[in-house]
Chain A
Amino acid sequence: MMTLSNKNKYFLLIISFGCFIACLYPYLRLAENTLTLNLEDKGLLFSLQRVLNNSLTKKAMLNTLLVSILTSIFSVVFATPLAWVLSRVDIKFSKTWTTLFSLPYAIPPFVGAIAWINLASPSSGLLSKVIGENVLDIYSLSGLVFVLTSFFYTYILLSLLGGLKNIDSSLEEAARLSGANGFKVFFDISLPLLWPNIKSSALLVFLASAASFGVPALIGSPGGIYLLTTRIYMFQKMGSLNGISAASLLSFFLIFLAILIVFIQQLLNKNNIGSVVQGKSSRISKMNLGKNQKLVQVILFSLFSILFLLPIMSITFSSLSKVQGVFSFSNLTFQNFSHLIFEMPEFLTSVKNSLYLSVTVATVSVAVGLVLSYIEVRTNIFGRTLVRSIPTIPFSTPGTVLALAILLSFGRRMGNISLYNTLFLIGIAYFVKYLSFAVRTISDGMRQIDSSLEESSVLCGATFFRRMVDLWFPILRSVIISAWFLIFMPCFSELTMTILLTGPGLETLGTLLFQLQEYGDSGGGGAASLCVLLIGFILMINFVIKKISKGSYGL
């Protein structure tokens, strides 16, 4: 442990208190707002009953539960056999397939929603034109669950693939030599050992579905299917005091759901089977396919086409179409792109805002994360573990709720300053939401480094700030870079929180895309073009991260 001068100690304490306030104060304001709910001047109790008895509200709760449960189940059902095939069956191009099936992890789901509306809206969707109108209806509960599943299954897939890589291979080999074939080994040995992974990632999918906003707003709302998040958004957009109070009330249901999930998760972690002596992992013998190789390749290709290729092709097609839905060469054009880039001033504003916000927030979060991690790992300040646990609270809070709470607490007039309708307010929301990424990644990295390194630099006379800049930053560089991208990526295409905090001139890529799709050009070419640009950019960044980190980060 480091002994610090008082001056440095105060500095550390001020930073951590600042973060604690930013992370916790919003919840107080949210509670306060709920308690001031007063419909028709008949007091709180009456208003609570009124909101809760509202059939739309009840429906929203039920829908949220139903959609989240179904998405979790389908994700597990789809991802588990896929993980087995990708990791334990001798398929050709298994590395490429793994990357391809992990891709949806990096892409914001609302882009998928736009693509699927393009494909399967009952009257004008491209697929509907091929197989007949009103056969497919994306604006339905099943459509909603389908689109969410087509993104969130990656949570389970990645967790399972990670787990399968870490299983001591002799556990599976012992089963093979006991006479079990590849399939049986997976069912009897690997799968039971990976239960903790499946359970915790399924809970994560549940939480992500319950917290999702973009997909239910684009797909659910037009079909009259509201979730808690989209109801909260509606109430907040009403603008009245009671609307905001009702939104706060619904927020507590989502918070309650999140707490429940985190609680269950911790309960599950306790019951883990203790690990037995770990052996070296040698090459895993994969199940030989023989004649079925071609069949499996065809199945993988069809799945990938449905999940990824088809939606991508549909928006690419849209973005290149003069008139939507007409298949002909003369209909091809780049004018959607040129219109978007050169004639729509909001486009450049949104690119600037998104870049500015995500770069600033990622940088600030990483710097603050470094200091907070230092407190947790290297000092004996009382209550130091709080710097790790408190930022996880806003992180697991659904974005819609967090944004509302931040709007209520920092968006109002404070003296002469008002942060309402500023990028700064959006920045605070991003910072609070993703600070946990920085703290966890960096403090895990810091823990690996022996304290003698710092002690020797103290003996050389380095001050606290010099040690941060000269020692910790260079040593932890790769960890810091990965934490930076971990925050940069979701901020760059953030929609859920931004939509509640944005205003004129504050467009980001996420909100611009949302507006284009919702109210914008009726043709749909603009939204599609922006999707294509966004996906291209995300894939490019992902490729760069993978190159820089030599494969340890990125998909």
Chain B
Amino acid sequence: MSSLELKNIQKFYGENHILKGFDLQVQDGEFISFLGSSGCGKTTCLRIVSGLENQTSGTLTMGGEVISHPSNNIFLRPEKRQIGMVFQSYAIWPHMNVFENVAYPLKIQKISKSEITNRVMETLKVVELDGLDKRMPNQLSGGQQQRVALARGLVARPKVLLLDEPLSNLDAKLRQKMRHDIRKIQQDLKITCLYVTHDQLEAFSMSDRVVLMNNGVIEQIGTPDQFRTNPETSYVKEFLQ
């Protein structure tokens, strides 16, 4: 668990200016949602935090340590960042069963077998998948695959958990339950979370604070209450309607 600081993050894809100076401070154990319509830069921002992409300029600090700063040639590779991520497509490895999928991050750390078994089983219990550890991914429902992805993201006790539109492939009823479950797990484990979504309901019902983005720029950062009582720009007002 760790705090996070993004300072004047800029991102270009060729001529395309995707992030135009992104500033954000995340407290230890905070749940932050990036909200915005598609193409506003929220996923790019998440990928920059993960290290899967590097910003063009700006500083990224995690737990007080600078992990990426292009002008000083600092870049901590994604596999060294101790970050968990849940992808929109779940990214469950189809050739491994549930146990192997969840155990993979621990296997890389060369932890002993018995310890791996304990921690995987424990994590599977947290995401309510106990008993399904021998199943192959194609024998799981969408919601169950989602939970496997979540378990895999949590099992190595990452400093930060990133979730990229994790619920968009689920049906409405399941989505409601998962919203509740993810929030509860996050609060129980007190893990710092960045959550990308285009769904207002998701953002406002789960988060400590919401970052509303538009066209690579932050329109407003605040608690759900602050958005309701005090929308800062006309875009925010329009978006919330």
Residues on A facing B (Cβ under 8 Å) = 168, 170-171, 173-181, 184, 188-189, 192-193, 195, 273-280, 282-283, 285, 288
Is there an interface contact between A189 and B93, defined as CB atoms closer than 8 Å? yes
B138 at the interface (CB under 8 A from A): yes
Given contacts A175-B104, A177-B78, A285-B53, is CB(A277)–CB(B89) below 8 Å? yes
Q: Contact between A285 and B52 (Cβ–Cβ < 8 Å)?
A: yes
A276 x B87 contact (CB < 8 A): no
15 interchain pairs, CB-CB under 8 A: A170-B87, A170-B89, A171-B93, A173-B50, A173-B78, A174-B149, A176-B52, A176-B79, A177-B84, A178-B104, A178-B105, A179-B108, A193-B93, A279-B90, A283-B53
B29 to chain A, nearest CB (A): 20
Does B156 make an interface contact (CB < 8 A)? yes
A193 to B92 Cα, complex, angstroms: 12
Q: Find the A residue at minimum CB distance from B102.
A: A178
Residue B134 lies at the interface, judged by CB distance under 8 Å to chain A: no
Report whether A277 and B169 are in contact in the complex, using a CB–CB cutoff of 8 Å.
yes
Give the docked Cα–Cα distance between A177 and B92 (Å).
13
Name the residue on A nearest B86 (C-beta): A174
Known pairs A193-B95, A278-B89; A184 contacts B108 (CB<8 A): yes
| Cβ contacts under 8 Å, B51 to chain A | 177
Q: How far is the CB of A182 from chain B (nearest CB, A)?
A: 8
**Segment 93-146 of B: residues with Cβ below 8 Å from A:** 93-95, 104-105, 108-109, 136-138, 142, 145
Say yes or no: A174 contacts B108, CB within 8 Å.
no
How distant is A177 from chain B, measured CB to nearest CB, in Å? 5
Interface status of B193 (Cβ within 8 A of chain A): no
Of the listed residues A174, A178, A274, A278, the one surrounded by the most CB atoms of chain B closer than 10 A to its CB is A178
CB contacts (< 8 Å) of B85 on chain A: these are: 173-174, 177
Bound complex: CA A184 to CA B110 (Å): 13
Bound together, the chains give a CA A184 to CA B84 distance in angstroms of 18
Q: Which residues of A contact B80 (CB under 8 A)?
A: 179
- A180, A184, A193, A279: the one within 8 Å of B89 (CB): A279
- Beyond A273-B136, A277-B145, A285-B52, whether A177 also contacts B93 by CB under 8 A is no
With CB as the reference atom, state the residue of chain A lying closest to B164: A170
Interface centre among B79, B83, B136 (most CB of A within 10 A): B79
Q: Please give the distance in Å from A213's CB to the nearest CB on chain B.
A: 39
- With an 8 Å Cβ cutoff, the count of chain B residues facing the other chain is 36
Interface of A is mostly: loop
Partner of B94, one of A174, A275, A279, A288: A275
B-chain residues with CB within 8 Å of residue A195 when the two chains form the complex: 95
In the complex, how many angstroms separate the beta carbon of B48 from the nearest chain A beta carbon? 12
B152 at the interface (CB under 8 A from A): yes
Shortest CB-to-CB span from A457 to chain B, Å, is 38
Instruction: Please list the residues of chain B having a beta carbon within 8 angstroms of any beta carbon in chain A.
Output: 47, 50-53, 77-85, 87-95, 104-105, 108-109, 136-138, 142, 145, 149, 152, 156, 169
From residue B106, how far is it (CB to closest CB) to chain A in Å?
9
Give bound CA distance, A250 to B34, whole Å: 69
Whole-angstrom CA separation of A278 from B81 in the bound complex: 26
Let me know if A180 and B79 touch, CB within 8 A. yes
Contacts of A275 in B (CB 8 A): 94, 138
Contact for B91 among A168, A188, A273, CB less than 8 A: A168
B52 touches A279 (CB 8 A): no
A285 to B50, CA, bound (A): 12
Minimum C-beta distance from B186 to chain A (A) = 18
Alpha-carbon separation in the docked complex, A229 to B149 (Å): 53
Tell me, rounded to whole Å, the shortest Cβ–Cβ distance linking A526 to chain B: 52
Q: Residues of A contacting B145 with CB < 8 Å?
A: 276-277
Q: When chains A and B are docked, how far (Å) is the Cα of A193 from the Cα of B53?
A: 24
Residues from chain B with a CB closer than 8 A to the CB of A193 are: 93-95
Picked from A180, A274, A278, the residue with its CB within 8 Å of the CB of B108 is A180
Cross-interface CB contact of A174 among B81, B91, B169, cutoff 8 Å: B91
Partner of A176, one of B78, B89, B90, B142: B78
Are A178 and B156 in contact, with the CB atoms below 8 A?
yes
In angstroms, Cα B50 to Cα A177, docked, is 7
* Interchain CA distance A178-B148 in the complex, whole Å: 14
Please name all residues of chain B whose beta carbon is closer than 8 Å to the beta carbon of A274 when the two chains form the complex.
94, 137-138
Pick from A173, A276, A279, A283: contact of B137, CB under 8 Å: A276
